[in-house]
Amino acid sequence: MSIQKTFVMIKPDGVKRKLSGEIIQRIEKKGLSIVGLKMVRISKNKAEELYAEHNGKSFFKDLINYITSGPVICMVIEGDEAVSVMRKMIGATDPKEALPGTIRGDYALSKSENVIHASDSEDKAKREISIFFNDEEILNLNIQTV
């Protein structure tokens, strides 16, 4: 068993279309734990930091404008092989290629408005989590406090 944490974000179109509850329910039904959760409006600076690998590409400006266009829900998800499990759950970036039963296959409208983001590696998960969460905002579910 390899317990991992990963970063997941319900994008502006997912929040606007009121899909957040359904997506969160899918994550929990899969047996993964939500150990951090917040709704935010991403600043331009944080958006550029999140998508730094795409800086200089033709779609970068549109991506930044889109991700900052409305509130998002940021989550830290924990569980066995959480990174790969979430990537399978969300499906392909292009909804035309995403299988039915995946989040994007069921809900995404286009390649640019594809409802959800999830880290694609453990290293990226650590980096992306650190952009949106500090250590105090991430629960340790093994410790019980009153």
Domains contained in the chain, CATH given: 3-135 (3.30.70.141)
> What is the model's pLDDT at position 146?
44
> What is the model's pLDDT at position 1?
81
> What is the model's pLDDT at position 140?
87
| Known binding residues | 11, 59, 87, 93, 104, 114
Tokens 């069921």 correspond to 106
> What is the model's pLDDT at position 62?
94
Instruction: Give the residue ranges of the chain where pLDDT is below 50.
Output: 144-146
- Burial tier of 14 (Cβ tally within 10 Å: 0-12, 13-18, 19+): buried
| Known binding residues for ATP | 11, 59, 87, 93, 104, 114
Long-range contacts of 23-28 (CB under 8 A, 24+ apart): 23/103, 23/107, 23/115, 23/116, 24/73, 24/75, 26/89, 26/103, 27/75, 27/77, 27/86, 27/89
> What is the model's pLDDT at position 18?
98
Asked if 76 and 138 count as a contact pair (C-beta separation under 8 A), the reply is yes
| Mutual angle of helices 82-90 and 20-29, in 10-degree steps | 130
Among 10, 32, 73, 117, which one carries the catalytic annotation? 117
> What is the model's pLDDT at position 145?
47
The predicted model scores a pTM of 0.93
> What is the model's pLDDT at position 79?
96
54 is an active site residue:
no
> What is the model's pLDDT at position 142?
66
> What is the model's pLDDT at position 92?
96
Average pLDDT, the chain: 95
> What is the model's pLDDT at position 141?
76
